[in-house]
């Protein structure tokens, strides 16, 4: 880690053996660390582009764009690029059998409900909903305002499928149809909030 190594060392030393799901804390800090690095790269590139383009941008819209980029980076770092820090460290596993993809709807979710840890159930269900809520809320404000709601929802669905596909190829997570469903639900809820706040009809 570049930014959060001291914090991680402190947490590991004092709480590493006392917290059951410390691996989740490690994943979160590692993902946030990578997100900060690549967000800084985006920020510098964006500022240079704004200076060279000499275009006036709405501060409110620009702030939303930066927030959306940070959100997307964090989402990808926590779901897809878990084990690598730089692009050249990626290792694709093209020979994986498709049988390792769970295509049985709600099969794994039901197993988690009856499992020993409710934390895993809430993280895999409500967590997936929460992660795609910002997409449904921010995406139409930045790119497809006043466009058919189906375009926003299909974009969210497509992003979820891309994430699950990359998780499969990079072996950085379990590719599960349940995740796509919960992601889509989160996108729908975010878009409904956007429509409610703007008075736009869903269509």
Residue spans of the domains in the chain: they are 92-198
Residue whose tokens read 């590139």: 45
133-176: pLDDT as tens digits: 999 999 998 887 666 778 889 999 999 999 999 999 999 988 99
SS3 201: coil
36-93: pLDDT as tens digits: 999 999 999 999 999 898 777 788 999 999 999 999 999 999 999 998 999 999 999 9
Q: Write the secondary structure of 84-137 as one string of H (helix), E (strand) and C (coil).
A: CCCHHHCCCCCCCCHHHCECCCCHHHHHHHCCCCHHHHHHHCHHHHHHHHHHHH
Q: Give the C-alpha separation, 143 to 194, whole Å.
A: 13
Q: Give the C-alpha separation, 171 to 166, whole Å.
A: 8
């Amino acid at each position: 880690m570049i930014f959060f190594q001291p914090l991680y060392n402190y947490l590991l030393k004092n709480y590493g053996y006392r917290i059951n799901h410390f691996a989740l804390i490690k994943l979160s800090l590692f993902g946030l660390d990578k997100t900060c690095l690549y967000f800084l790269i985006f920020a510098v590139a964006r500022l240079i582009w704004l200076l060279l383009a000499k275009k006036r941008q709405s501060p409110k819209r620009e702030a939303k764009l930066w927030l959306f980029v940070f959100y997307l980076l964090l989402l990808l770092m926590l779901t897809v690029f878990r084990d690598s820090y730089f692009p050249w460290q990626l290792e694709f596993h093209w020979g994986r059998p498709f049988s390792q993809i769970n295509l049985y709807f709600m099969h794994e979710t039901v197993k988690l409900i009856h499992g020993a840890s409710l934390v895993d159930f809430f993280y895999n269900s409500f967590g997936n909903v929460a992660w795609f809520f910002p997409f449904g809320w921010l995406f139409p404000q930045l790119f497809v305002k006043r466009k058919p709601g189906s375009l926003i929802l299909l974009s969210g669905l497509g992003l979820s499928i891309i994430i699950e596909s990359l998780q499969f190829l990079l072996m950085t997570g379990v590719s599960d149809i349940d995740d796509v469903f919960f992601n889509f639900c989160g996108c729908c809820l975010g878009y409904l909030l956007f429509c409610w706040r703007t008075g736009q009809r869903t269509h």
